[in-house]
Structure 1
Amino acid sequence: MADHEFFFSIELPGRPASLGVLRELAPRVLGQFGCGGDAVPALVDALETAVARGAESGAFTCRLQFVARDGRLDIAVSSDGGPPWRTSHAISAV
């Protein structure tokens, strides 16, 4: 994937209903970029926790961002002024 770059970002309302969208979206994005099956549930759980923390802190909007480049998928979750949560995962070429 060294020659390719992909950027995907979505804003979700900071409410529990957003977790349903996240549960549908995240595994598909992660799988599309070659994240191994064993890693996907742990990454989705971590994303859900990050989104839930933003909602608990009173955030109205949660921003979820996936950036794939140079064999890595960088994931960031941020919410209305709260500290961002970030992680990276090695991905296979697609």
Structure 2
Amino acid sequence: FAANDQMAIGVLAAARATGLKVPQDLSVIGCDDIEASSLVEPPLTTIKQPIEEMGKNAAEIIIKLIHKEKPAHRRILLKTSLIERSSCRAL
């Protein structure tokens, strides 16, 4: 698992350079579902996050801080989804 798709794409390149086959020898999963993740070979399995909703929540907190309001301590759970492509082998 890589922290983001760009790093995972780097792992795909490094695997190819060292002769490892993805997903036969190494499974790779990224995070973010950037456009390039579907264009690389093999297409990258990734976790899609609700970026707009994350940004909206962050902006609301920042606006409260700017107005000297204390934001409520709360846990925000957002739905993510696994985008299954070809870089991860079934075990």
Q: Same fold (TM over 0.5)?
A: no
Of structures 1 and 2, the one with the larger relative CO (CA 8 A, separation 6+) is 1
Flag the structure with higher strand content. 1
Determine which structure has more spread, i.e. the larger CA radius of gyration. Answer: 2
TM-score, length basis structure 1: 0.28
